[in-house]
Chain A
Amino acid sequence: MEFEAVIGLEVHAQLATESKIFCACSTGFGAPPNENTCPVCTGMPGVLPVLNRKAVEFAIRTAVATSCRVQNRSVFARKNYFYPDLPKAYQISQYELPLAVSGHIDIERNGTTRRIGITRIHLEEDAGKLVHAGAFAGAQTSLADLNRCSVPLMEIVSEPDIRTPEEGGAYLRRLRDILVYLEVCDGNMEEGSFRCDANVSVRPRGQKEFGTKAELKNMNSFRNVEKALEHEIRRQIEVIEDGGAVVQETRLWDADAGVTVPMRGKEEAHDYRYFPDPDLLPLHIDEAWVEELRKTIPELPGEKIARLASRYGIPRYDAELLSSSRLLADFFEAAADAFGGNPKVTANECIQWKDAIVAGRMSPETIAHVVEDRETGTISATASKTLVEAAIGTGKPVRQIRDEKGLTQISDAGALEAIVDKVIAGNPKEVESYRAGKTGLLSFFVGQIMKETRGKANPRMVQEVLKAKLG
């Protein structure tokens, strides 16, 4: 029997605000334990949460960028459970009435576009962090650091529209890129500011009803999400083929072992008794606010990829690599516009030097000038690399370095012909052998000319001139 997988992804994105969602504590990462806490985020009696306007703006902008409908009224709810990283014993979240609903993201795979639906986007607060100090056997306590308590999160829930691990990966990468373009989240998966859980089930191809799903957690890189999905799909198919039934449960991805394993404990408590938080009035968002924020949406990754590919005639794959960062894409455009040569070469250079470019250590002229000099034959590909490295290291204009180091190559036909003539005259025996059919000697002549010019001759032109002269 042939099976297909049904996958939905839940993303928790940490919003890039300065302060927490309901109090004025810093969201800064890496502060000493419990440095960024106050009576509100540690759940002291009698305090009241006050909503951070910027967190709402970030969620609205994300909703607009993913074609969601922003609801003019949404409600914060309490999700109740006991855990030592949650001092209030409830998490403030949105439940029945989320901030936004019914959107989508388009992903392109192998030339076709797939539309992945977005069910909802809502705001919530993060929990603290438990440090299992003394993780030795028998330790009786854990340590709680509440700095992360009440850091704003945005949960983005996809429709179960994803069918393969690769599609899941493509959706996640595109979503991450959108959030980074919007500057609402830094998108760092390893550091946990962009986290993903997955709901996975399988069904015989052609069947309409969903199978029983498992929830996957603990996948902290795009690659791990894809691998975990792959493994879980295979596992579920094997369970069914062996005559068993998939159990609804939460499973953890074990990256080292490459398997998903059932999560122990915490299962019984999945009764969260949500109810509207009486401390927070309903969130009202009027159309005018949404429209005002709509104007702040930049060109998004999908649009940018399509535009770069068509405007500069570069392969779509290159456009995707360049668009992985707004800064890189802008840099490429500046470099390509500064010089009318082949944008494909400019694109390659930008991709090769991506790290330095994104780190702000290079100017678009550097790339434009080396590409131009290579195209005119003024410098060699090897010299180009040396020059870019030197420009990054010294910050000097690349052409100044070129002239200082004498890295131009001889591409002047007249000058080259004179040198070729000299070499031919000085090696009559080799010329004779070559003309007798030992064409492998061509490299000998090239070597002699390179020696004569101390490596500065344009190799392509040397070959051309040599072949013509040796005939």
Chain B
Amino acid sequence: MAITREEVLHVARLARLALSSDEADRMREQLGDILAYIRQLDRLDTSEVVPTSHAVETGTPYRDDSVHPFGEKEEILKNAPDREDDFFRVPRIIED
């Protein structure tokens, strides 16, 4: 079951990628190959295997709940393509 062109375009749209017609075809082919490769796992019975979300299972480390201000707001803001005062300026979002 290969991936369809519609699925490729849907995933591209979700990822905000504009694909030309040629690119869409090429992606369909490449994604199809990747899926076929992964599909080799179907030859095994994995019904009793817990999905591996991480390569190690040590448990996540914690930090204590204390505040340490980064203190360099300018460094953060200067990465943005646009700003107004100390806000990031972004394309207008229409909200009801």
A→B interface (CB under 8 Å):
17-19, 24-26, 32-39, 42, 44, 50-56, 75-76, 80, 82-84, 130-133, 139-146, 252, 261, 263-265, 269, 271, 273, 276, 278, 280-284
Contacts and interface: CB of A to CB of B under 8 A. Distances in A.
Contacts of B93: 83-84, 130, 132, 142
Contacts of B16: 82
B86 A19 contact: no
A42 B14 CA distance: 21
A141 B92 CA distance: 4
Contacts of B87: 33-34, 131, 133, 143-145
Interface in B1-22: 10, 14, 16
Interface of B: 10, 14, 16, 53-54, 56-70, 73, 76-77, 79, 82, 84-96
Contact of B59 (A32, A76, A281): A281
B54 A278 contact: yes
B90 A144 contact: yes
Contact of B56 (A19, A25, A51, A281): A281
B63 A84 contact: no
11 contacts: A24-B66, A34-B73, A34-B88, A38-B69, A42-B76, A52-B65, A56-B62, A131-B87, A142-B92, A145-B87, A283-B59
A204 B69 CA distance: 56
B89 A280 contact: no
B79 A44 contact: yes
A34 B63 contact: no
Contact of B85 (A33, A140, A264, A278): A33
Contact of B84 (A56, A141, A263): A141
Nearest to B85: A33
B21 to A, nearest CB: 22
Contacts of A83: 93
B91 A51 contact: no
A11 B85 CA distance: 34
Nearest to A286: B59
Nearest to B52: A276
B76 A34 contact: yes
Given A33-B87, A131-B87, A144-B87, A281 B54 contact: yes
Contacts of A38: 69-70, 76
Nearest to B62: A53
B89 A19 contact: no
Contacts of A261: 96
B89 to A, nearest CB: 5
A143 B58 CA distance: 41
Contacts of A282: 53-54, 57, 59-60
B73 A142 contact: no
Contact of A51 (B58, B62, B85, B86): B62
Contact of B88 (A55, A132, A146, A281): A146
A140 B63 contact: no
B4 to A, nearest CB: 15
A129 to B, nearest CB: 10
A395 to B, nearest CB: 34
